[in-house]
Amino acid sequence: MAGNRTVGILALQGDVREHEHVLHGLGVSTVRVRRPEEIATIDALVIPGGESTVIDKLSVAFDLREPIRDAIREGLPVLGTCAGLIMLADRVVDAAAGQQSFGGLDAVVRRNAFGRQVDSFEAELQAPAIYGDPVWAAFIRGPVIESVGPRATVLAQLEDGRIVGVEQGALIGLSFHPEISGEPRFHERLLRTL
């Protein structure tokens, strides 16, 4: 699948270790990305959950915003979960003042659409492209994908039809945390793009 490829995990803030655990379980080497020069050493990138406003500010402080934007434009495969989805979206509704995303994913995403931390929940998803057992997902103050443009396709939905997963070429954005619920198939899907 990925051979001896290396997946970077943006390690500015968020659930980095959980993604490392899933990827190591799939036999993949990882590197924690904190400096611009590390972008050139990876074959794919994971943008973890956390707080999108903090990830945005730290990406500027660590001179990573533009290198990541450039890498996405040049075709770097990326998996963004929760806050990572927000960072991949071309448009963010309810963004904090001055907040920017890396962009690349033809989708409109609403921050904190599922409410506060106490409103966190788990649910079974409709994800026809993900074969095997049903997808069980953990949502923690997650965003929702309000609309998907013509370049992207819906990957996962809640039973009520709300879109919680989208992909566009080698970009995958998820409202939920597969790394927390022990769901490796989205990471595997990222690896198949390598």
- 59 closest CA partner among 78, 39, 34: 34
pLDDT given at position 141 = 81
Angle at 26 between CA 24 and CA 28, to 5 degrees: 55
Output 113 or 1, whichever has higher pLDDT. 113
What are the tens digits of pLDDT across the range 18-35? 999 999 999 999 999 999
Q: Are strands 6-10 and 78-81 parallel, antiparallel or unpaired?
A: unpaired
CB within 8 Å of 165: residues ≥ 6 apart: 125, 127, 145, 154, 155, 156, 157, 172, 173, 174, 175, 176, 186
Does position 114 have pLDDT exceeding 80, yes or no? no
Q: Which of 19, 38, 82, 187 is catalytic?
A: 82
Range 165-184 average pLDDT: 95
Is 188 a known active-site residue? no
Output 61 or 140, whichever has higher pLDDT. 61
Beta bridge pairs of residue 135: 125
User: What is the DSSP code (8-state) at residue 66?
Assistant: H
Please give the Cα distance from 175 to 32 (Å, whole number): 22
- 175 closest CA partner among 129, 149, 132, 140: 140
Range 164-178 average pLDDT: 96
Is 20 a known active-site residue? no
- Would the pTM count as exceeding 0.85? yes
Does position 131 have pLDDT exceeding 70, yes or no? yes
pLDDT given at position 55 = 96
- State how far the alpha carbon of 193 is from the alpha carbons of 28, 48, 159, in Å: 14, 18, 28
pLDDT given at position 83 = 94
User: What is the DSSP code (8-state) at residue 16?
Assistant: H
Is 74 a known active-site residue? no
Domains in the chain (CATH in brackets) are 6-191 (3.40.50.880)
Q: Which of 38, 177, 183, 187 is catalytic?
A: 177
Q: Which of 167, 179, 183, 187 is catalytic?
A: 179
Does position 1 have pLDDT exceeding 60, yes or no? no
Question: Residue 35 has which token pair?
Answer: 């400096």
